[in-house]
Amino acid sequence: MSLKHILSALICMLALTVFGAGADKAAVQILAGEIAGCLKMKSFGAAAVAAKPAAAFDQLNKYFTISSMPVASSTYWNQVHGNTPEEVKQDLEGMQNMRAIGRNMAWLLKCIEAGKAAGIPLPEREEKIRTNYIR
């Protein structure tokens, strides 16, 4: 497991978590798009939000999937509730989800490294075809 992959995944997850928690939607889209664009197929994505709307979690994950990135999952939506770290710690279900995504991220990193060590290449990427809906 390379430190580069660990840092990429954590930066991606933490940046989206911090900026996804009530930040301006345009700012989140720009940040998520830039991160996903830089990491295409070089790492994986894992979004977590500290917000009530499930739409924020869904929106962040879309940037990973449109960039052909594997997505680490959990046991439920990756979100916690609370305005302070102390309040978040009281969200037992949310904390359990964060532990689960942490374990799944570690497992996915090990699988990626094992695949590389075994000589399994990344999936081939086709040139992007864009549909023109105005004909």
pLDDT tens sequence across 6-40: 555 555 555 555 444 455 555 556 666 666 555 55
- The full DSSP string for 27-79 is HHHHHHHHHHHHHTTTS-B---B-SS-HHHHHHHHHHHHTTT--B---SS-SB
Q: Is the pTM of this model over 0.75?
A: no
Residue 125 covered by a domain: no
Residue 73 covered by a domain: yes
pLDDT at 119: 96
Residue 67 covered by a domain: yes
Report the number of distinct structural domains present in the chain: 1
Residue 129 covered by a domain: no
- Domain of 26 in residue numbering reads as 3-117
